Every structure is written in structure tokens, then in C-alpha cells.
Amino acid sequence: MKFVFFGTGNIAVGVLEELSAAHLVPALITTAPDKPAGRGKKLTPPPVKAWANMHSISAIQPEKLDSQYLKNLRALKADVFVVADYGKILPKELLKIPKHGTLNMHPSLLPRLRGPSPIRTAILNDDKNIGVTIMLMDEKMDHGPIVAQRPIPPPQDWPPHGRELDELLAHGGGKLLAEILPTWLRGDIVPQPQNHDLATYSEKIKKEDGLVNLAYEPRKNLLKVRAYDGSPGAYAFFEKNGKKLRVRITDAHLDENGSFTIDRVIPEGKKEMSYEEFLRGTKTQSRS
């Protein structure tokens, strides 16, 4: 089996780990260019590039998927392309290069939660009906026929932190891919069209979406903190020492009375600390 893998973030790394464990190693990895990160804006490789370097697999980072890039892909004569958490739209002519098409691992039970943020949206919607889908890609977003699909039991401690669910579904999707790829290449799977009438969608998450209104419904506040775990992060504004302060809420829970209780925070310009430590010593008021 000769395949090219397209992926960028930690979900893609989880998929690669499961493929590698099944002795399915890509001939080439295409990932996103390095980007500035952290306070120092140091140029940093995406997680998939770091994984590829660690495993001595060739990885390229094209700014554009132009004609020269497509020519090089054709020269590889790959059997199939595999896509997971890549972050760029793939042109129609690229999808049709390999004999067996281009497969995508999408971390939802399609046609539910198409779009860029299905995992975090499931948490935000308090939706435990989670799973993974392997889809034969076409030119429309998350629209192609289904090759394989598997429900994943939700974590017992629901709602989970976003990064926890990322990892669970990444590895679940990677295992399913590893199982079906040989069967797919033999031509023993007939892809089934999605019921587009049942499609639902997730939206691209923006930084401002993380704002928590502490006077809002407690359960919805908790879902937002858990859903936006890691990135973009949930936050609220407080008034401390007469100044408005942006405070990131990294963890919270509902107490026995169902009240929203903050556990951990990162005040603007500070390191992570307990909420009690943040409140200690000075009078603080919520600005939500």
C-alpha cells in the first residue's frame, strides 16, 4: 500500500499513530507551513511535521497546492490519499489523482456535524452521540459517500475536556482507517451516499466565542469551558484593584447545587493558578 497523508494538528497525529501501529506508513506527508507561536512568536512546526521528523518520514509544507505540487503528487503514483485534520481545502483535481480516491477521517457521525469543529461543537451542544466517519471525498465539504462509520462511547465524565475528546476520536478514527484501508484497496467496500437532508453543521471557532457570561445558565457555562479547552479557551472579565482584567478559565465544575464553580484560571499576564489563589488578598468583581 502506497499512500500520501494530509494532516496538520494533534488530531492528525493521533490518526498517524494508529496507522503506524498497524504498520501503515505514508510514503509522504503533506502538512501546513510553520507558524509563529507563543509570546516570542517563534516559528514553530505543526504537530504533524514534528511527528514526521521523529519517525523519519518525508514531510512537505506547501503554501499553495499549485500545479507543480500536483505534478509531483502524480509522479508518486500513490494508491490512495488519506486526509485528517489538514485545515486546507483540497482542489477537485487533487482528489482524483490516486486510483482509489481520497479518504477523509471526519470525527463525527456524518451527515451530522459537518464542518471544521465537530468535536468541540458536540461538547458545546451537550451531544453524547459521537463517533467517526471515513468518507470518500468530493469537491463539497464533508459531502462525499461514507466508506465506514463507527460510534464511539462517550467518556463517563461528561462533558469531557475538549483535548480529551480530540484524542479519543483521533485514535478511534485512526483505528477504523487502519482496519478498512486494505479492504478499500481490494475494492470490497461500496461507499454509501449520505442523507443530505439530515446534515447539521459546525462553525469555525473564533477567539471571541470563548467569552463566558457568569450570570448565564451554569450548565452552558461549563460546556463552553470544556468545549473550548486548549483553544481558543474560555474567558471572563473581572474587575480587580479598580482595573478590568481578562481571565482565562481553564477548568470548572458544577457543585452539588448545580452552581457553576470555577477551579483554575490564567489571569492576563500571569501563570495558571487556582481560582481561590486569584481571589485571595484583594476584592474582585465579575464584569460579565
Which three three-digit cell numbers place residue 58? 518525508
For the chain, the helix, strand and coil percentages under 3-state DSSP, each to the nearest 5: 30, 25, 45
Q: What phi and psi values does residue 218 have, to the nearest 5 degrees?
A: -55, -45
AA identity, residue 60: I
What span, in angstroms and rounded, lies between the C-alpha atoms of 260 and 175? 37
Q: Is 202 annotated as a binding residue?
A: no
Q: Is 108 annotated as a binding residue?
A: yes
Contacts of 224 (CB under 8 A, 6+ apart): 124, 210, 212, 234
Residue 257: left if φ>0, alpha if ψ -120 to 50, beta else—which one?
alpha
Q: Is 111 annotated as a binding residue?
A: yes
The 10 Å Cβ neighbour count of residue 135 is 24
Nearest of 231, 269, 263 to residue 249 by alpha carbon: 263
Task: Give the dihedral sign, CA 269/270/271/277.
Answer: negative
Output the CA torsion 209→212→215→219 (10° steps): 90
Nearest of 188, 192, 169, 202 to residue 84 by alpha carbon: 169
β-sheet with 243-254: strand ranges across: 273-274, 260-267, 243-254, 234-240, 284-286
Task: Give the dihedral sign, CA 143/144/146/148.
Answer: negative
- In the annotated binding site for (6S)-5,6,7,8-tetrahydrofolate, the residues are 108-111
- In the annotated binding site, the residues are 108-111
